[in-house]
Structure 1
């Protein structure tokens, strides 16, 4: 059967169009989850919109530092180097920003209301508190690097309750509550440690269940690999690592591992909504030698964006979301 010349031309055109067309490439999801930073140039914790230019005022969503209305006592000596901040929600649904300051203030701040703190204590400058976490019963876990301890404070018992249970952990830098496993994790100079929190809200206990040597020494940050309940992020002086909870082993073959590697990384975390990983690393030339003015975002398989807050001295950054930090 003969085909008409027009039919043959039509087929050829369709074939050519098919050869020239390029399959659509999925674009990485840009993060929309806000980011909270501990900003030591202005002594604040600041929440910022990652979709906006951080040099503009409109990028700021929320900020806090203790003031006369915070009922945190005299903070002239206990506040000045905020070093940890994370968003948490209690059983009633109320949200809080938990903060620590190297000068000694520990606080739980109602979000977004501010006003009087939900809880605070001043532990002085010597311990150098570095990490904070809310527990299901309303108590608060804290890590202190110079104090070399992990504590659980009975925050559930009063707005300034300073009773605590303590266990030693040299160089303790961060704590994180694992809701799935119902355990508290902490990282120190040489170890990642898993604890059971027992007892009662008024009289808690803290029992070590297991410990794991770090791949390199001087642990710093700790948190979830959001979207993978079996792994944790851990940073040390030399590198960024993932810990596999089910096997008690270290995984260093995760996506973009080589790009994420760095020295003295202060914070790392995955945004559950977009999969974007954020990171803060001290920046040469910053007036604060352990700080930076930028947060690095690793988006998708290859894209990297730097969010710069001009004049800032950022220590840690976290996704402002309970599931991502």
Structure 2
């Protein structure tokens, strides 16, 4: 279990002193909060996998759902476009159905019907050079994508057909993740040096993407981005050199509980479970055959507890709470 952390250098005392509002909770029949499942991008088996966060992952009954493209996916020839899944999020479309959005570093973007799988709702093969790293569903059915080597953010017209590949693009060096902020009706994105806020306009068939604001990251090489469940004014984000929270109303980076414990290098994903307030992280583990992967997800429970969920033999890149409010 990774319980000893380095000290976050360069953070001011006022940041360390700040706190966040408590998370929303959901009660089980027993009255105790129940954490959401966790979805991981698992590169040893080239799958995205949903796991029960309350069970030992070494047991087969902990696996609730998994996906990789197959002959019935209608995603084209994926022999070259699939093999390093790196992002996955649960979303509900305008049709009321749920979808798992996935990206693969080899080029595949897809919206997968959950839980029935079958033909994808949408997919595009970018090829390997852009290295797609983040994906998000927009309210009109279009899909936003971040590509790190491509250094761009795109909005694809997924609303216009299963393989619609028309897009609008904005440059963002090192673009790694996107997240739709329904409260503010804006798209957030993170790159090497910047957190950027975009307005998405136009029509579903002809969208526009306009930068509204940009904020320098507290440390370089941004990676992950998402909500702080329980505090709609805050975002989680990670860089090569740590984990941070951003306060939207003030445009500043602020402190949060257990900040020093959560600090690590190269954090690939972070997020808060809305039901319990538990924070998850994935960080590359020394000795893993994949140098950017781990076989475990670290959980920070309550004020001082930790837990490690291990998936034996896995090469996990990102993990997210399988819950829309939490990711």
Residue number in structure 2 paired with 1:124: 127
Higher RCO (CA 8 Å, separation ≥ 6 residues): 2
Question: Is residue 137 from structure 1 mapped to residue 129 from structure 2 by the alignment?
Answer: no
Residue number in structure 1 paired with 2:304: 302
1:257 corresponds to which of 256, 259, 266: 259
1:156 alignment partner, SS class: helix
Q: Report which of the two structures shows the higher radius of gyration computed on alpha carbons.
A: 1
Q: Write out per-residue CA displacement over residues 149-208 of structure 1, whole angstroms, 9 at most, x where no aligned residue.
A: 000000000000000000000000000000000000000000000000000000000000
Residue number in structure 2 paired with 1:99: 102
Q: How many residues align?
A: 297
Residue number in structure 2 paired with 1:56: 59
TM-score by length of 1: 0.90
2:260 alignment partner, SS class: helix
Runs of 5+ in structure 2 lacking a partner?
1-31
1:290 corresponds to which of 289, 292, 295: 292
Task: Kindly state the Cα deviation for residue 32 of structure 1 after the two structures are TM-superposed.
Answer: 2.5
Question: Is residue 148 from structure 1 mapped to residue 151 from structure 2 by the alignment?
Answer: yes
What is the distance in 1 between the residues matched to 2:56 and 2:171? 43
Q: Write out per-residue CA displacement over residues 230-272 of structure 1, whole angstroms, 9 at most, x where no aligned residue.
A: 0000100000000000000001x21000000000000000000
Instruction: Tell me if structure 2 keeps the 8 A contact 1:31–1:50.
Output: no
What is the distance in 1 between the residues matched to 2:76 and 2:182? 32
Residue number in structure 2 paired with 1:239: 242
Residue number in structure 1 paired with 2:313: 311
1:192 alignment partner, SS class: strand
Residue number in structure 1 paired with 2:277: 275
What is the distance in 1 between the residues matched to 2:56 and 2:195? 37
What is the distance in 1 between the residues matched to 2:127 and 2:221? 23
What is the distance in 2 between the residues matched to 1:72 and 1:229? 35
Instruction: Tell me if structure 1 keeps the 8 A contact 2:157–2:204.
Output: yes
1:58 alignment partner, SS class: helix
Instruction: Tell me if structure 2 keeps the 8 A contact 1:154–1:201.
Output: yes
What is the distance in 1 between the residues matched to 2:149 and 2:319? 21
Task: Kindly state the Cα deviation for residue 31 of structure 1 after the two structures are TM-superposed.
Answer: 4.7
1:185 corresponds to which of 172, 178, 188: 188
Instruction: Tell me if structure 2 keeps the 8 A contact 1:155–1:161.
Output: yes
Residue number in structure 1 paired with 2:18: none
What is the distance in 1 between the residues matched to 2:85 and 2:264? 23
Task: Kindly state the Cα deviation for residue 145 of structure 1 after the two structures are TM-superposed.
Answer: 0.1
TM-score by length of 2: 0.90
Instruction: Tell me if structure 2 keeps the 8 A contact 1:46–1:60.
Output: yes
What is the distance in 2 between the residues matched to 1:109 and 1:42? 18
Residue number in structure 2 paired with 1:223: 226
Runs of 5+ in structure 1 lacking a partner?
1-28
Task: Kindly state the Cα deviation for residue 93 of structure 1 after the two structures are TM-superposed.
Answer: 1.4
Question: Is residue 42 from structure 1 mapped to residue 45 from structure 2 by the alignment?
Answer: yes
Instruction: Tell me if structure 2 keeps the 8 A contact 1:30–1:299.
Output: no
2:249 alignment partner, SS class: coil
What is the distance in 1 between the residues matched to 2:92 and 2:220? 33
Residue number in structure 2 paired with 1:4: none
Residue number in structure 2 paired with 1:90: 93
Kindly report structure 1 stretches of 4+ aligned residues shifted beyond 2 Å. Answer: 29-32
Task: Kindly state the Cα deviation for residue 30 of structure 1 after the two structures are TM-superposed.
Answer: 6.4
Question: Is residue 162 from structure 1 mapped to residue 162 from structure 2 by the alignment?
Answer: no
1:69 alignment partner, SS class: helix
What is the distance in 2 between the residues matched to 1:315 and 1:76? 20
